Structure 1
Amino acid sequence: MTRNSDTPSAWDERTQLTTFLDYTRDTVRAKCEGVSEENARKALLPGSPLMTLSGLVNHLRWVEYWWFTMVFLGEEGENLPWIDDDDPDREMRIALDFPIEQLLAEYAEQSARYRELVAAHDLDTKAKRPIRGGLQVDLRWILLHLTEETARHNGHLDILRELLDGVTGD
């Protein structure tokens, strides 16, 4: 896979924000490239038995769904895998039921839809649904938050991949 650069094609705020989010998304895919199905499902960290490559990809997919669909657009959503008080980490657990290539493909398809959503809205547009404490975030904040969230989990993917098969990289 050829990864995009983190250097934007233009220096306006929107291009910089979307370039960094796309770069972190591309890094997720790069960290999973060539991994076996068995390794994609292995949990190697004793304190985090649900942290697998598959689980992290599925988690990131649903995190973006939450922020763009549920919070920004204010939609209700349906069949959300993490909304289960008895199993709060369900999206990490159910990921093991799907091939890693399917999870990555669904993440890429969803990312493409959200690129269009972002392009169609001003960065100052407020989310329809407030977050904790009634705070109304804007699209800019959501892009920054998703970049931070994805970059943090890329660190987890990096550690897991190195422990699984020795593959390293940026």
Structure 2
Amino acid sequence: MTRTDKPEAWDERTTLLTMLQYTRDTAAEKCRDLADEHVGAAPLPGSPLMSLGGVVNHLRWVEHSWIENRFVGGPDLGPWTDEEPDREFSLGATTPLAQTLAEYAEQAERTDAIIAGLDLDDRSQTPLRSGEHPTLRWVVLHLIEENSRHNGHLDILRELADGRTGD
């Protein structure tokens, strides 16, 4: 499969879901051929949880939280706790990268299956802090934004790890 941001059709839904998949594929590409010793490295002094494995694991759990938990009202299965609210980052730093990437791909498949049965104007079961129930359109755009921002982090972490750069 070729990583692309060009949708097969130019309607809103296809465009949004193509961009979501592109951001997922970009995260995986940033980790391609990464040496094991770099998976959990956190080279940014102000961000001790920011590792390549941690960021990818975070993306996986953010997608679960927004779609399976908040949007459709399922249980929150995330690894976070009151004592360790960012636990997905520390777990991703110590989990084999192949496993983290596979779990992220599995999460994407679950998300896509759920989204397939919904309309972009459908509203989430769980409200935002403001009390508003966002549309699926907003949640998908939020996931694209979240993935894109963290793909920038993955760019930096990968370059610091072994000098690899790329789009």
Q: Is the 8 A contact 2:41 2:93 kept in 1?
A: no
Secondary structure of the 2:130 match is helix
- Selected match of 1:135 from 126, 132, 137: 132
How many residue pairs get matched? Answer: 167
Q: Distance in 2 between matches of 1:32 and 1:53?
A: 7
Q: Is the 8 A contact 1:3 1:23 kept in 2?
A: no
- Gap runs ≥5 in structure 2: none
Q: Distance in 1 between matches of 2:89 and 2:150?
A: 13
Match of 1:89 in 2: 86
For residues 138-164 of structure 1, give each alpha carbon's deviation from its aligned partner in whole angstroms, at most 9, with x where no partner exists.
110000000000000000000000010
What amino acid maps onto 2:69 in structure 1? M
Q: Is the 8 A contact 2:40 2:94 kept in 1?
A: no
Match of 2:39 in 1: 40
- Gap runs ≥5 in structure 1: none
Match of 1:158 in 2: 155
Q: Is the 8 A contact 2:3 2:22 kept in 1?
A: yes
Structure 1 position 49 matched with structure 2 position 48:
yes
Secondary structure of the 1:134 match is coil
Q: Is the 8 A contact 1:3 1:26 kept in 2?
A: no
Q: Is the 8 A contact 1:20 1:147 kept in 2?
A: yes
Match of 1:110 in 2: 107
Match of 1:75 in 2: 74
Secondary structure of the 1:151 match is helix
For residues 5-28 of structure 1, give each alpha carbon's deviation from its aligned partner in whole angstroms, at most 9, with x where no partner exists.
101110110000000000000000
Structure 1 position 122 matched with structure 2 position 126:
no
Query: What's the % identity of the aligned pairs?
Result: 53
RMSD, matched Cα:
1.0
Q: Distance in 2 between matches of 1:33 and 1:76?
A: 32
Kindly state the Cα deviation for residue 77 of structure 1 after the two structures are TM-superposed. Answer: 2.5
Counterparts of 1:3-22 in structure 2, within 5 Å, are: 3-22=2-21
Q: Is the 8 A contact 1:130 1:137 kept in 2?
A: yes
- The TM-score normalised by the length of structure 1 is 0.95
Match of 1:31 in 2: 30
Q: Distance in 2 between matches of 1:39 and 1:153?
A: 17
What amino acid maps onto 2:14 in structure 1? T
Kindly state the Cα deviation for residue 96 of structure 1 after the two structures are TM-superposed. Answer: 2.5
Q: Distance in 1 between matches of 2:9 and 2:21?
A: 14
